[in-house]
Structure 1
Amino acid sequence: MARAGLTPERLTLAGAELADEVGFEQVTVSALARRFDVKVASLYSHLKNSRDLRTRIALYALDELADRVAEALAGRAGRDALAAFAEAYRGYATEHPGRYAAARLRLDPETAAASAGVRHAQMARALLRGYDLAEPDRTHAVRLLGSVVHGYVDLELAGGFDHSAPGPRESWAWVVDSLDALLRSKRT
């Protein structure tokens, strides 16, 4: 019998916390069972398997991150919105590295379409309205933003900028300024 108080929601949050502590790749039903000092079998009344747990954590992280990005974007436009958007992702990744990794889990098409991933794309497109880009440039720009922000954050989290000057914060500001200049140059 499952321990009283264990719910899919509580297990998802505990899994997200575990991901931040040990890395998303290390999160399994077995690791979660150890955290609650229960037998693995007792969690299967709440979770199908480790893939189900990881998907739940990914959906949780996508929701949490979308809320953070939306709050950062509120009332901003142009370069200010771009900087807030990028910093929301960077800040989340720094504070919650396991959840950030989870938010990039490849989901099946149906799950992805029902997830907050759609909100992320909508917010990127809304941000880009301030740059007055026509299609297909707007789609290219959404992909560019994702590539630059996620690429920079991944390199920074891996320690890729630890051994040289200038520091990562200075380079980050330069990257955001460069993206802004590029996007402004593409206006229709």
Structure 2
Amino acid sequence: MVRAGLTVVRVTVAGADLADEVGLGQVTMSQVARRLGVRDASLYTHVRGLKDLQGRIALLAADEKSIQIAEATAGRAGRDALVAFANAWRAYAHRHPGRYLATQTPIEIAPELAAQAPGPRRAVALTYGMLRGYGLAEPDLTDAVRLLRSTFHGFVALEAAGGFTHERSPQQSWVRTLDALHALLEHWPAATEGHSS
């Protein structure tokens, strides 16, 4: 690749592409520099180091994922919105495993950078908005967000690791999982005394 036009965006995208290919934890500044055809030192004009790059990858991925979810769920409500949301989440994780992992891993991000990034805020708004269609309010809303995130991430993480070895296809289980989540959200249990601490 040519050296001209090196920008923070190009460095971040190169790092994100590399993360998808070799794994987020395997990305090094030297590898990114080689991919861009520059010396390692050239990268430090645009990013402060590996942790900064990882943070930028996470924010890029959060933005990409939230845009895809927004497009998938536009005009939908209830079960249709839940299924579209979940399928977009899973599809992004399959297509971009390194980027996806960055969105699920605690990564140090400079506060000023995080404050300017729309992706994480959009992701939260989309999730809460979709769940409000089920008539949930706080604190049930936050509990439901955590349930969905745990379920979706757990499923795609196990899938990526080859954790589903039963002859029944993961796709069949995914469909039934979404059916079960929809049924639960439609009949969210009322809080009972003694369950909160």
Q: What TM-score does the superposition give when structure 2 sets the normalisation length?
A: 0.88
| Alignment counterpart, residue 128 of structure 1, candidates 116, 131, 135 | 131
Residue 12 of structure 1 corresponds to 12
Letter paired with 1:184: E
Q: List aligned pairs for 1:92-131, cutoff 5 A.
A: 92-106=92-106, 107-108=108-109, 110=111, 111-112=113-114, 114-115=116-117, 116-131=119-134
Q: 1:168 to 1:136 in 2, by over 3 A?
A: same
Of the structure 1 ranges 146-155 and 129-138, higher mean CA displacement relative to structure 2 is found in 129-138
The total of aligned residue pairs comes to 186
Conserved? CA contact 2:24–2:102, under 8 Å: yes
CA distance in 2, matches of 1:112, 1:142: 21
Q: Which runs of 5+ in 1 are unaligned?
A: none
Deviations 1:2-46 (A, max 9, x none): 932211111111111111111111112111012123221121111
Q: Distance in 2 between matches of 1:152 and 1:112?
A: 27
Deviation of the 1:105 alpha carbon: 3.3
> Secondary structure of 1:178's match?
helix
1:91 maps to which residue? 91
2:62 matched to 1:59?
Answer: no
Provide the residue aligned with 2:194 in structure 1.
none
Root-mean-square deviation over aligned CA pairs: 1.8
Residue 162 of structure 2 is aligned with which of 159, 168, 178?
Answer: 159
Q: For 1:95 and 1:14, locate their aligned partners in 2 and report how far apart those are by CA, in whole Å.
A: 16
Cross-structure match for 1:175: 177
Task: Name the % identity.
Answer: 53
Alignment-mate amino acid for residue 149 of structure 2: G
**CA distances 1:35-70 after superposition (whole Å, capped 9, x unpaired):** 123221121111110111111111111111110010
Give the superposition deviation at 1:112. Answer: 4.5
Q: Quick check: 1:25 aligned with 2:28? A: no
1:88-130 CA-partner distances (Å, limit 9, x unpaired): 1100011111111112232458354543212111111111111
Q: TM-score, normalised by structure 1?
A: 0.92
- 2:115 and 2:146 map into 1 onto residues whose CA distance is 17
Query: What stretches of structure 2 of length at least 5 have no aligned partner?
Result: 191-197
Q: What is the distance in 2 between the residues matched to 1:175 and 1:99?
A: 24
